[in-house]
Amino acid sequence: MATDSSRLDVLRRRVQQDPASIAFAPLAEELRRAGEHYEAVRVCLAGLEHHPAFLSARVTLGRALAALNQYQEARTEFEYVLKVAPDNLLASRSLAELEAQCAVAAPQQHPSLDELEAWLARIEADRAAGGGPPSQSESHSLTSRIDGAESDAENDPGGSAPRNPSY
């Protein structure tokens, strides 16, 4: 994105002359818009040492962190702003965008169709050979991947995999 370098220069000089100046916030936002996310984070962190309650700077910090894939840190900033100012629309929208970005970036938690078909083939082969249902470890492993969480074997001694009623 094109950013007016003279504006950046003016803001940088103001912050250099007075490190406690609130000019850090627009400087950080201009840096973020220019794609200089690391510098935007650095400027925000330095400025927030002097002005920790500057909410728009925290939103800028969160947005720069999100651009750097620092999702948890970004979420922390947005949630802080929303805790202090629940009606802050930019923080709310940024948090929603972050959640969507995290969903896209998250690795697939579910097994592939090939894995499911292989598991089903093993079950059918076991049944044809006179074996019983899948072992608890097989069903536990696949079910935990399907659910995205480990199941507790003590509470589910028979395994959690879907069972064919004809067993």
Q: Show the domains of the chain with their CATH numbers.
A: 5-105 (1.25.40.10), 108-167 (no CATH)
pLDDT digit string (tens) for 24-73? 999 999 999 999 999 999 999 999 999 999 999 999 999 999 999 999 99
pLDDT digit string (tens) for 3-25? 567 889 999 999 999 989 999 99
Q: Which residues contact 153 (CB under 8 A, 6 or more apart)?
A: 136, 140
Whole-prediction pTM: 0.60
C-alpha torsion sign, points 153, 155, 158, 160: negative
Please state, in angstroms and rounded to a whole number, the distance separating the CA atoms of residues 116 and 31: 48
- Name the pLDDT band for 119 (thresholds 50, 70, 90): confident
